[in-house]
Structure 1
Amino acid sequence: MDISGLDLNLLRVFDVVFRHGSVSRAAQELGMSQPAASQAVTRLRQLLGDPLFERMHGGVRPTPRAERLALAVRAALATLEVALAEAHAFEPQQAQKRFRIHLSDIGEARFLPPLMWALREQAPHVQLETLPMAMTEIADALDRGSLDIAIGFLPGVTGTQQTVLLSDHYAVLLRKEHPVLQVLQDGRLSPENLRSLEFVAVRSHSETLRILQALDLQQQIRLSAAHFMAVPSIVRQTDLAVIMPAEIADTFERQGGYAVVQADLPASAFDVSLHWSWRFAQEPANQWLRSLVVEVFRQRA
C-alpha cells in the first residue's frame, strides 16, 4: 500500500485496541465514541486487506497479521511521541514531578529507604508514589504511562524493556534461638529439618507459596498472612519459619535476633529486574529515574 494515503490516527486506534483487546475500552482511553473507534478499525482493515481483529467473548483478539504489525506500530508511535515532545533535558534539582513505581510490600520495605535518600540528595522536590499491581496489569500500565517503572521478580511481565538489578535466591528466616538450629548439619536445613518446621506463608508472594507446595509442606503452614510487614516480628517471637529472599533476610539477621539458613529449595534462584516501557525509553525524566535506580542498587550490591 501507499503509505502517503494512511491516516496515522488509524494506527493510534489500532495500537490501543491491540493493547486492550477491546474496541470499547480503546475508545474510552482515546476519548472517542465506540462507533468512531470501530470505523477507524474498519478503515485500516480495508487499507491493509486483513481483518486485524476477530470477535471473541469479552472483546477481540488480533490476527497473525496484527500480531506482526503491532510491534512496528508501537515503535513508530513511540518515536513520534518523543520527537514531538518538548526536547528539554530533565533537571532533577529543579524538577517537581511525581514518579509512580510498582513495588511489592517487601520491596517497599527494603528498597525505598535507600532510594528516598538518593532522591533527597539529587532531586529534593521529586515525589514517589508506589502502586502495587497484579503482575498481569503491569506491562499495560507501563505502556499507558500510569506506571513509570516496575521493580521486582516479575516473570509474568512480558513486552517490556528491562535490566537485571540483582540476582538472589530464597532462604529460610528463623529466630536466633530456634531449636532446629541446634541439630543442623553443615549449617543447612535438610528435607527432614524442613518437615519439622512450621511456616508463615505470605499470600502476596506467590513464589514462596509455590516452594512450599513443591516441597509438599502445605500442612506445615500455621499462619497465612496477607502482607509481609508483620512477619519478621512474628518469626522473632515464635518458632515459625518464613521462606523469603536471602538478600532481604540478611538485613534482618544483621539487626540481631534472627538467623538466615540455607536449604535446598526448588527453583530458588531469581533475578530482581527494573522494567519500563519502550514508549518512554527516550523520555528524559524516565531515563534519569532508571539511572538513579540502577545506581542505588549498584551501591547496595
Structure 2
Amino acid sequence: MQFDLNLIRVFDAMITHRSVSGAAAALHLTQPAVSNALKRLRELTGDQLFIRTRNGMEPTRFAQGAAGNLSEGLRMIRTGLERAAPFDPQKTSRRFRLLMTDAGEVVFLPRLMPLLRETAPGIELKVMQLPVGRYLEALETDEVDLAIGNLQAQAGTLVLRPVFDETYAVLCRDGHELALAAQSGQLTLEMFLGQDHVIVRPPNSTEPLLDVLARDNKWPLRRTLDVPHFMVLSAILDRTNLVAFVPRLVARELSERGALTVLPVPFPVPSITICIGWHTRHQKDDGHRWLRHQILAAMNRLTAGLATPGF
C-alpha cells in the first residue's frame, strides 16, 4: 500500500479531537472521508488506533505511542513548506522555540507577546528552559530556534549578538529599613548582610551570583528562603522584611506589580551581557529574522541603545 501523508493529518486531528466529526470539521473534510482515512490507517498499521467509548474515540496504546512523533513530523513538514514560501507575519502559523531563563520570561514575554499578537496573530511560541550549559548545544542541534541570555561567544556555526549589559539590584518592600537608608545615602554592605534573604535558584540555571560573592568574600549571608522562580518574590517581599538580590530588570518589573522598592547594590557587582543567539542555518530565514526584530523591539522597551548589527 502506498503511504499518503494526508493520513498523518487525519491521525493528528483524531488525537486532538477524539471524534470523527471533530476531525472532519477541523480538516474541512466530510465524515466519510475521515472514516475512510481511518480504515486505511488501520490496514497500514495493523492496529485499531481509536476505539469508540462513551467519552469519544479513545486512542489505543499503539496510537498513543505514535502520536508524539507523528505530530512532530507533521509540524516539521508544515514548517519546511512555510519556510520555502514568502514570510507574511499576518498569515503565518509558524511555531518558534525560544530558550530563556525564568528571569527572561518575567522581563521579556510581557513586552514581546503584545507585539506578536498585533503583528502576527497566528504565530505560535514555545518557551523552553534548559540548563545554561546546554544552550549552545540546543541551538547547534536545532532543538530550539533562538536563545536569549548570558550566552558565551563561540566561533563556528552560531551567531551571538550582544544586546545590552545587565546588572543587579536589591529588592524589598516599600518602607523597608534598607529603603530608608538608601534614601539618605547610608545603605552599606553591613546593613545588606544583616537582612534575611530570599535566594532565587532556578532549577536549570547556574549558581546564584550572591552565593558566589558570599562564598568568595566569606560574607555571613542569612539565607532565610530558597525559591525556584522569580515571580513569587513580589508576593513574599511586600508582606515581609525579607530582601532579594536580583537582576535589575527583574527588580524593576516586579516593583511595577507590587509595593516594592528597587535599591542600588552597596558593593561592586559584575555586569552580565545579554545576547540573542541562533544557528547560522537561520541567518537568511525571513521568518526567523522577523522574529529577531520583534524581540529586539521588545527589549528596546526595557533599555535604550540596543545594538542591531547583523539582524
TM-score (norm 2): 0.63
- How far the C-alpha of 1:132 sits from its partner, in A, is 0.5
Do structure 1's residue 163 and structure 2's residue 161 form an aligned pair?
A: yes
CA distance in 1, matches of 2:217, 2:175: 25
The Cα of 1:237 is off from its aligned counterpart by: 1.1
Cα offset, 1:182, TM superposition: 3.2
**Post-superposition shift, 1:122?**
1.0
**Residues 154 and 211 of structure 1: is their aligned pair in 2 closer, same or farther, counting only changes over 3 Å?**
farther
Say if 2:106 and 2:253, in contact at 8 Å, map to a contact too: no
Larger radius of gyration: 2
Q: How does 1:36-55 map to 2 (within 5 A)?
A: none
Q: Alignment partner for residue 130 of structure 2, among 128, 133, 138?
A: 133
CA distance in 2, matches of 1:291, 1:111: 13
The letter for the 2-side match of 1:149 is L
Distance 1:188 1:117, change over 3 A: farther
Q: What's the CA shift string for 1:188-211, capped at 9, x where partnerless?
A: 631211221111111125334323
Instruction: After TM superposition, give the deviation of residue 86 of structure 1 in Å.
Output: 6.5
Change in 2 beyond 3 A, CA 1:208/1:123 = farther
Where 1:272 maps in the other structure, the secondary structure is strand
What residue in structure 1 maps to residue 145 of structure 2? 148
Query: Does the 8 Å CA contact 2:90/2:122 hold for their aligned counterparts?
Result: yes
**Deviation, structure 1 residue 266:** 4.0
CA distance in 2, matches of 1:97, 1:188: 53
Q: What secondary structure is seen at the aligned counterpart in 1 of 2:160?
A: strand
State the SS of the aligned residue for 2:113.
Answer: helix
Residue 180 (structure 1) shift: 3.1
Deviations 1:204-236 (A, max 9, x none): 253343234344346411111122221221111
| Equivalent in the alignment of 1:250 | 252
Select which of 89, 110, 116 maps to 1:92: 89
The one-character-per-residue Cα deviations of 1:229-258 (angstroms, maximum 9, x if unpaired) are 212211111111111111221233334511
Q: Which structure has more helix as a fraction of its residues?
A: 1
> Counterpart amino acid of 1:270?
I
The aligned amino acid for 2:197 is: F
Give the corresponding residue for 2:110. Answer: 113
Letter in 2 for 1:177: G
| Residue from 179, 195, 198 that aligns with 1:197 | 195
Tell me the equivalent position of 1:270: 272
Q: Which residue does the alignment assign to 2:243?
A: 241
Structure 1 residue aligned with 2:286: 284
1:285 CA displacement: 1.9
Please name the residue that 2:297 is paired with: 295
Q: 1:193 to 1:225 in 2, by over 3 A?
A: same
Answer yes or no: is the 8 Å Cα contact 1:249–1:260 preserved in 2.
yes
Query: In structure 2, the residue corresponding to 1:125 is in which secondary structure?
Result: coil
- Read off the aligned partner of 1:258 and give its amino acid letter: L
SS in 2 for 1:90: coil
* 2:107 alignment partner, SS class: helix
Quote how far apart the aligned CAs of 1:178 are.
Answer: 1.3
Structure 2 unaligned residues grouped into runs of 5+ = 1-81, 304-311
Q: Which residue of 2 is the match for residue 174 of structure 1?
A: 172
What amino acid is aligned across from residue 200 of structure 1 in structure 2? Answer: V
The alpha carbon displacement at 1:96 in A equals: 0.9
Instruction: Quote how far apart the aligned CAs of 1:300 are.
Output: 3.4
Identity fraction in percent: 27
How many residue pairs match? The answer is 216
Unaligned runs of 5+ in 1: 1-84
